[in-house]
Chains A and B, each alone.
Chain A
């Protein structure tokens, strides 16, 4: 049992997008603030800080979750994936990001990092979703710009592309 005292800064080490990173945090530091202010990963956005808007959604050990409802000290030793980890090394957008761009699934882009992280978890678990399932998953996010229709299109398109690619590989 290790008691972390209030008012002190504790060392937090985690794997951010595949890279081991370490920073300092108070007990009360939220994971969202730790990522942005301590590790400089400002791709994760902060809206409501009470779990409603979804802007801060990241993947913790693979599962999409609110960074604003998680303490930085709780992420010790965990794998945390954020929007910065989606594009390839040369900065090339991944298939989901490209589909968002193609379909105008973003305008201001404030909600987009969170939505992309939810979608990336969701599409791994539900590779061939129905429109209703996609809309259900998106109900955990607020977007003030797009009206969601193009987001739904981008997600369904990505799912279909991935399915087609899997089929191709099977018969290659």
Chain B
């Protein structure tokens, strides 16, 4: 299992990456942490002619607070966000989700932007971005576009990114006061991709529940404050809406069951976290 042949360029700046993407389009692939792409190349599921390596692009290696968001550049690893001292206060949902993302050795090299660009329907970082209504900054030679998570994710491994665009930055909204966050996941073994993952955001305005691993992309439901049977009914409708499929990992019925159970649990946890803060 070895990759096919390709040309390789170590990228020094976002401008350079965009210049080359404009020139080569689909035949060029951004290589970030390589924790998904190298697997794909080793198995020869893709054979791009040119790899643009952004993993050591210093100007893109940043994690910083910017207005009311945590901005993560294309070269920043998942570990560099996970090990931030203040993360639990800044973006509590990410703090809760990181331990579920693969393994420590993989997070050391995998990037945040790479996971967003890859858009695996079971991946935790896209799910959190959708739950928090975060943003993706796309950059090409022509300029920048900023898309909301809901606009960016379009399907299984499918996004609104055009072939000449770099995912330059991803922005996670910072925790708001009086708002609670919770994350739960069910997978066969710890670190495996999620069979179902749920993230809840509960504020004065209501409930937001994001579910990954079921539909072809992370899906978000928005509800006013619901309790007991009204919440059960809403969760059940949402579980059916997601059009779960049977696959070798789990049946559609089991996935709906997990959405109802985990969904209720994260909503309860997030609600408790709001009252704890007051």
Contact = CB atoms under 8 A, between A and B. Distances in A.
Contacts of B6: 6, 27-28
Nearest to B13: A1
Interface in A94-122: 118, 121-122
Interface in A42-65: 49-51, 54, 57, 60, 63-65
Contacts of B8: 3-4, 6, 27, 71, 73
A7 B5 contact: yes
B52 to A, nearest CB: 10
A125 B12 CA distance: 30
Interface in B93-139: 99, 102-106, 108-109
B109 A4 contact: no
Given A4-B7, A74-B53, A28 B2 contact: yes
A5 B7 contact: yes
A101 to B, nearest CB: 23
Q: Describe B's contact surface by its main secondary structure.
A: loop
Contact of A3 (B9, B35, B106): B9
Contact of A140 (B1, B38, B83, B106): B106
B9 A65 contact: no
A69 B35 contact: yes
B79 interface: yes
A26 interface: yes
A65 B109 contact: yes
B190 interface: yes
Contacts of B189: 139
Closest 4 CB pairs of A and B: A140-B103, A6-B5, A69-B38, A63-B108
A139 B39 contact: no
B140 interface: no
Given A64-B108, A140-B105, A140-B106, 18 more contacts: A1-B12, A4-B8, A28-B5, A50-B38, A51-B38, A51-B39, A54-B105, A57-B105, A60-B109, A63-B109, A66-B106, A69-B35, A70-B34, A125-B83, A137-B104, A139-B103, A139-B191, A140-B102
A6 B7 contact: yes
Contacts of A118: 104-105
B241 interface: no
Contacts of B190: 136, 139
Contacts of A54: 103, 105
Interface in B1-21: 1-12, 16
Interface of A: 1-7, 26-28, 30, 33, 49-51, 54, 57, 60, 63-66, 68-71, 73-74, 76, 118, 121-122, 125, 136-137, 139-140
Nearest to A69: B38
22 contacts: A1-B11, A4-B9, A5-B7, A28-B41, A30-B2, A30-B42, A49-B42, A51-B39, A54-B105, A57-B105, A63-B108, A64-B104, A69-B39, A69-B42, A71-B38, A73-B10, A76-B10, A122-B104, A139-B189, A139-B191, A140-B102, A140-B191
Given A1-B16, A4-B8, A6-B5, A70 B38 contact: yes
Contacts of A121: 108
B88 interface: no
Given A70-B109, A74-B53, A50 B5 contact: no
Contacts of B226: none
A26 B7 CA distance: 10
Nearest to B16: A1
Contacts of A51: 35, 38-39, 106
B220 to A, nearest CB: 29
B225 to A, nearest CB: 34
Nearest to B19: A1
A28 B4 contact: yes
